[in-house]
A and B are shown apart, each in its own frame.
Chain A
Amino acid sequence: MLAEIGQVLLILALLAALLQSVLPLVGAQRGIAPFVAIARPAALLQLTMVLGAFAVLTVAFVRQDFSLRYVAENSNSLLPMIYRYSAVWGAHEGSLLLWTLVLALWTAAVAEFSRRLPPLVVARVLAVMGLIAVGFLAFIIFTSNPFGRLLPMPGDGADLNPVLQDPGMTIHPPVLYTGYVGFSVAFAFAIAGLLGGELEQAWVRWARPWTNVAWAFLTLGIVAGSWWAYAELGWGGWWFWDPVENASFMPWLVGAALIHAQAVTEKRGSLRAWTILLSIFAFSLSLLGTFLVRSGVLTSVHAFASDPRRGVFILAFLTIVVGGSLLLYALRAPKVAGGKAFNLLSRETVLLIGNLMFAVAAAMVLLGTLFPLVGDALNLGRISVGPPYFGFLFPLLMLPVVLLMPFGPFLRWGKGEGSTLRQVALRAGIAAAACAIVAAFFVDGRLKAIAGVAALIWLGVGVLMYALKRWRDVPRGRRYPGEMAGMLLAHLGVGVFVAGVLLTESLSVTRDVRLAPGQSERVGSYDFRFDGVHRVSGPNWQADQGVVTVSRDGKQLIVMHPQKRTYPRGQVQTESAVDAGIFRDLYVALGEPMDAGNIEGAWSLRLYDKPFVRWIWGGGLLMMVGGFVCAADRRFRLKRTVAAPAAELVPQETRA
């Protein structure tokens, strides 16, 4: 019965979304006030319905209602309570519902916090977000219904994919989706601007914190995903250039560009058309990312469920959204474009170069990700694009960004001065070179590691110098507003991240070994002694648990317990043991017994010494904090009356 209510709620949500999109669009174009006014209440109505449907599905999981096909396929009577909640988005249907819920939440937030914007703009923005909701709700209802019944009802469920039974996986999808969907706000603003034929700087100021928050969530989602892959997949890597990872990375890159482009447009009015284009691309890539992962068109080491039948709907939806918005852009962008001219030596130029690099990098990743699909379609054979492609091109494209980053803040808008730049380059350059020389002695002259240290110092000194300059030049209280502090934190985060990547890549030691109980293996400066394997059991799994004692210079450091878990349906899952540290991680993953069945004999083991690997996620988290701090800047929330053409003003009070 409950499931049928969920089904009805979904249909009602679709109707509410239609109401929220069609009427306000018509109203805004024709000037019909009541139609314009309907956007806000319709958005709240839609949220209520989607929230209801989501709650129904959650209840079905908590109560273990295996008469629902989706629940039966992704849960099991032994599943611990916390994973019953996260199992709601453990597969295709539920994760789409989560996506729609997040969209409804963002939409309601926009409806709530947009009271100072002209009603016409708000109506168009909400209508565009409503259209996206229509697409997703229709997709759920017609192709991916989570409320379908399974008859006869099975005695027990099939179980949640054990790969997903990890704390990192419970937060990764919601956070990632919050990021993806957050770009819909910037997108809706861009489309609303194109529809209305103008893009006020004040609207961009209003839209900026939304982009920053979305990007910060996306950053957190990617960091969580990377951490999860590291801890849970048992390979010890933190990034694989896997299509699913690329899917989230492309909107991140374009989002990073958009954040900077929006700053230029808001402050100077320049680059309007570029900002709109980036808004369109950031969200289109988010959509593409969602669908690439969900449709199974790409072969990926972690493409979970695949059903190519849904591909047609997805392709049609993508074509409408991307094609439609680009067509609109082609028709209306010239009308919106404009802004102040700027010198070759100016903050705008530096930001524009950074923007170009990010855009090219996103295009490069897109090409590498879709190339196998294109090759397939053109009958060029079954192709895969290996990590070396990305590993070669990406650092190359980001090098100019890292080199230019310290200069950006020091340059003035419009026209900069060369003398300050020389000073910055000289000081940061000398500091970076000096530290690199010192570091060279510690890392045996490994170039990548030296470059990592140099990059960290270069960016760090750049950030520090600018912070000092603000401290000297600006009166107390106005030195570090959120926007400034956020920028400094995020840029510092880039330095920490780059250092972490390069140091980990060049200094890590990996050993795949066969060890009998009592045998030891030296990894870097650590001795790993294998003390055998015994059986342990958890709530819904049994495991072979290894005991590995790590010592250094004869002194025992830690005893680690890697596991090989077996879940009810016989799925096997490696649970690696990680000893985390600021300067190094020790990592042990259990392979398999060398004689099948004899767990007391020799095992294969994977042993890692990973210096500075935490800096990678630390840098990512700093960038995330930067995004949030920037969004919290009071300047974005100042009470400003937004000028709008008099003819467009629709007094809200006169409508009832």
Chain B
Amino acid sequence: MSPTQRRRLLLVLLVVAVAGIAAVLVATALQRNVAYLYTPAEVKAGEVAPDARFRLGGMVAKGSFQRAPGALQARFEVTDGDARLPVTYDKILPDLFREGQAVVATGRMAGGVFVAEEVLAKHDETYMPKELADKMGVAHGKHQVPATAAPAESR
């Protein structure tokens, strides 16, 4: 091998090594840090592994919002039209958080209650997360109701 060839080989090996290490790291990090979106009905049907960190999407059920007396903790229920799931959150809720509006909460299940670490509300009047709209669309289509009047809320 000529010196030039050796240099090139070294260079190629370096690139391949860096790319390989990066690929392994990326794969591990991705595996650990993806969070799936579920609706309350899917959670109740047992689709979520216990202790899994996931995102819960749906509407804040009307009349379900409560504050723990003397504390910051908020309790509310998230509904997808088929099922409702109680959620607790002990930080400040986003500006656009309202009953009857879409939310996506990230957290874990604990004793039948979803303990949220983060709550996101939709960002303006016309915006709803597309993925949530798709999932909610399924629920609403089934019940043939407009988006704001899910049957679960009139129960």
Please pick, from A297, A381, A606, the residue contacting B36 in the complex, using a CB distance under 8 A: A381
B1 at the interface (CB under 8 A from A): no
Interface residues on B, range: 35 or more
Are A161 and B22 in contact, CB atoms less than 8 angstroms apart? Answer: no
B131 at the interface (CB under 8 A from A): yes
B72 at the interface (CB under 8 A from A): yes
**Most A CB atoms within 10 A — which of B10, B33, B67, B70?**
B33
Closest B-chain residue to A356, C-beta based? B18
Bound-state Cα–Cα, A382 to B90, Å: 26
B:111-141 near A, CB below 8 Å? 120, 123-127, 129-132, 134-135
Residues in chain A near residue B134, CB distance under 8 A: 382
Q: Closest approach, in angstroms, between the C-beta of A173 and any C-beta of chain B?
A: 17
Are A592 and B131 in contact, CB atoms less than 8 angstroms apart? Answer: no
| Segment of A360-368, A454-462, A488-496 in the binding face | A360-368
Q: Closest approach, in angstroms, between the C-beta of A552 and any C-beta of chain B?
A: 24
Closest B-chain residue to A389, C-beta based? B33
A420 at the interface (CB under 8 A from B): no
| Segment of A22-30, A186-194, A300-308, A638-646 in the binding face | A300-308
Closest B-chain residue to A595, C-beta based? B67
Residues in chain B near residue A343, CB distance under 8 A: 7
Are A368 and B37 in contact, CB atoms less than 8 angstroms apart? Answer: no
State whether A571 and B124 are in contact (beta carbons under 8 Å apart), knowing that A299-B129, A512-B90 are contacts in the complex: yes
Please pick, from B22, B96, B124, the residue contacting A360 in the complex, using a CB distance under 8 A: B22
Q: Closest approach, in angstroms, between the C-beta of B17 and any C-beta of chain A?
A: 10
Are A514 and B72 in contact, CB atoms less than 8 angstroms apart? Answer: yes
| Segment of A41-49, A64-72, A209-217, A390-398 in the binding face | A390-398
State whether A161 and B18 are in contact (beta carbons under 8 Å apart), knowing that A296-B130, A371-B34 are contacts in the complex: no
A:336-370 near B, CB below 8 Å? 341, 343-344, 352-353, 356-357, 360, 363-364, 367-368
Please pick, from A299, A514, A574, A594, the residue contacting B131 in the complex, using a CB distance under 8 A: A299
Are B96 and A512 in contact, CB atoms less than 8 angstroms apart? Answer: no
Residues in chain A near residue B92, CB distance under 8 A: 512, 589, 591-592, 604-606
Bound-state Cα–Cα, A356 to B106, Å: 34
**Most A CB atoms within 10 A — which of B11, B22, B106?**
B22
Closest A-chain residue to B34, C-beta based? A383
Are A396 and B130 in contact, CB atoms less than 8 angstroms apart? Answer: no
B149 at the interface (CB under 8 A from A): no
Are A341 and B72 in contact, CB atoms less than 8 angstroms apart? Answer: no
B49 at the interface (CB under 8 A from A): no
**Most B CB atoms within 10 A — which of A383, A384, A574, A591?**
A384
B95 at the interface (CB under 8 A from A): yes
State whether A301 and B123 are in contact (beta carbons under 8 Å apart), knowing that A364-B22, A512-B90, A573-B95 are contacts in the complex: yes
A:205-241 near B, CB below 8 Å? 234
**Overall SS of chain B's interface:** mixed
Bound-state Cα–Cα, A513 to B92, Å: 8
Are A306 and B37 in contact, CB atoms less than 8 angstroms apart? Answer: no
Bound-state Cα–Cα, A161 to B26, Å: 37
Are A381 and B37 in contact, CB atoms less than 8 angstroms apart? Answer: yes
A376 at the interface (CB under 8 A from B): yes
B:49-81 near A, CB below 8 Å? 55, 57, 67, 70-72
Closest B-chain residue to A400, C-beta based? B18
A388 at the interface (CB under 8 A from B): yes
Q: Closest approach, in angstroms, between the C-beta of A236 and any C-beta of chain B?
A: 10
Are B35 and A393 in contact, CB atoms less than 8 angstroms apart? Answer: no
Are A385 and B30 in contact, CB atoms less than 8 angstroms apart? Answer: yes
A572 at the interface (CB under 8 A from B): yes
Convert B12-43 into 0s and 1s, putting 1 for each residue whose CB lies closer than 8 angstroms to a CB of A.
00110011001001100110111111000000
Q: Closest approach, in angstroms, between the C-beta of A416 and any C-beta of chain B?
A: 14
Please pick, from A306, A372, A389, the residue contacting B29 in the complex, using a CB distance under 8 A: A389
Are A591 and B93 in contact, CB atoms less than 8 angstroms apart? Answer: yes
Residues in chain A near residue B14, CB distance under 8 A: 353, 356
Are A512 and B130 in contact, CB atoms less than 8 angstroms apart? Answer: no
Bound-state Cα–Cα, A331 to B106, Å: 48
Are A305 and B33 in contact, CB atoms less than 8 angstroms apart? Answer: no
**Most B CB atoms within 10 A — which of A302, A353, A389?**
A389
Are B130 and A299 in contact, CB atoms less than 8 angstroms apart? Answer: yes
Residues in chain A near residue B11, CB distance under 8 A: 352
Interface residues on A, range: 35 or more
Are B55 and A384 in contact, CB atoms less than 8 angstroms apart? Answer: yes
Convert A163-187 into 0s and 1s, putting 1 for each residue whose CB lies closer than 8 angstroms to a CB of B.
1000000000000000000000000
Bound-state Cα–Cα, A638 to B154, Å: 77
Are A386 and B91 in contact, CB atoms less than 8 angstroms apart? Answer: no
Convert A63-82 into 0s and 1s, putting 1 for each residue whose CB lies closer than 8 angstroms to a CB of B.
00000000000000000000
Q: Closest approach, in angstroms, between the C-beta of A513 and any C-beta of chain B?
A: 6
Closest B-chain residue to A384, C-beta based? B35
Q: Closest approach, in angstroms, between the C-beta of B97 and any C-beta of chain A?
A: 9
Are A303 and B34 in contact, CB atoms less than 8 angstroms apart? Answer: no
Are A344 and B7 in contact, CB atoms less than 8 angstroms apart? Answer: yes
Are A308 and B130 in contact, CB atoms less than 8 angstroms apart? Answer: yes
Residues in chain A near residue B130, CB distance under 8 A: 296-297, 299, 306, 308
Bound-state Cα–Cα, A363 to B92, Å: 35
Are A386 and B120 in contact, CB atoms less than 8 angstroms apart? Answer: no
Are B96 and A572 in contact, CB atoms less than 8 angstroms apart? Answer: yes
Residues in chain A near residue B95, CB distance under 8 A: 234, 564, 572-574
Residues in chain B near residue A589, CB distance under 8 A: 92
Are A512 and B72 in contact, CB atoms less than 8 angstroms apart? Answer: yes
Residues in chain B near residue A305, CB distance under 8 A: 126-127
Bound-state Cα–Cα, A297 to B33, Å: 21
Residues in chain B near residue A376, CB distance under 8 A: 131
Bound-state Cα–Cα, A375 to B131, Å: 11
Q: Closest approach, in angstroms, between the C-beta of B84 and any C-beta of chain A?
A: 20
Convert A593-610 into 0s and 1s, putting 1 for each residue whose CB lies closer than 8 angstroms to a CB of B.
010000000001110000
Bound-state Cα–Cα, A375 to B37, Å: 12
A:455-491 near B, CB below 8 Å? none
Bound-state Cα–Cα, A74 to B120, Å: 24
B:97-111 near A, CB below 8 Å? 106
Q: Closest approach, in angstroms, between the C-beta of B51 and any C-beta of chain A?
A: 16
Closest A-chain residue to B120, C-beta based? A301
Convert A565-579 into 0s and 1s, putting 1 for each residue whose CB lies closer than 8 angstroms to a CB of B.
000010111100000
Please pick, from A302, A364, A382, A606, the residue contacting B37 in the complex, using a CB distance under 8 A: A382
Inter-chain pairs besides A301-B120, A371-B34, 7 sampled, C-beta below 8 Å: A297-B130, A306-B130, A356-B18, A385-B30, A386-B35, A514-B71, A589-B92
Nearest first, the 9 closest Cβ-Cβ pairs linking A and B are A382-B37, A389-B33, A591-B92, A514-B72, A512-B91, A382-B131, A572-B95, A299-B129, A386-B33
Taking beta carbons and an 8 Å cutoff, which residues of B are in contact with A?
4, 7, 10-11, 14-15, 18-19, 22, 25-26, 29-30, 32-37, 55, 57, 67, 70-72, 90-93, 95-96, 106, 120, 123-127, 129-132, 134-135
27 A-B pairs (CB sep. < 8 Å): A296-B130, A299-B132, A304-B123, A344-B7, A344-B10, A356-B15, A363-B22, A364-B22, A367-B30, A381-B37, A382-B55, A382-B131, A383-B34, A388-B32, A388-B33, A389-B30, A392-B33, A393-B29, A397-B22, A512-B72, A514-B72, A571-B124, A572-B95, A572-B96, A592-B93, A604-B93, A605-B92
